[in-house]
Amino acid sequence: MYCMTVEYPKSEGSSFDYDYYRDVHMPLCERLFSGHGFRGSVIRTGGGKGPGSGDLNWVSLDLIFDSPEQLQAALAAGGAEVTADVPRYTDVRPRMSFAEIALAIS
């Protein structure tokens, strides 16, 4: 499996509409990426430098795909529409990183 992580870092004066993100943006991603090896997502909130410390990000998201090739296909098919939606919920520029998933335990 393969993962794209998207982080929305907090900074003074930045804003993030979590309700829109959860209720509109994430279903948009699911709709556009399904059929391209999209397995699901994990949304994390409240992440700090240590347990109970101040939040570093508004949200951190993992989008999970079967392979890097399928992630690329999903972004080619729906990435522009997903990116165009970002200003509707935040003024933060997201950071992205990519990685193989070495182990998933259920």
From edge to edge, which strands make up the β-sheet containing 57-65? 38-44, 57-65, 2-9, 95-100
Token pair, residue 56, equals 């570093």
Between 103 and 41, name the one with better pLDDT.
41
Q: Which domains does the chain have, with CATH numbers?
A: 2-100 (3.30.70.100)
Average pLDDT over residues 57-77: 95
Whole-structure pTM value: 0.88
- pLDDT tens-digit map of 37-56: 999 999 998 776 666 667 78
Task: State phi, psi for 12 to the nearest 5 degrees.
Answer: -60, 130
Nearest Cα neighbor of 47 from 58, 35, 63, 34 is: 58
Phi, psi dihedral angles at 16 (to 5 degrees): -155, 125
Per-chain mean pLDDT for the chain: 92
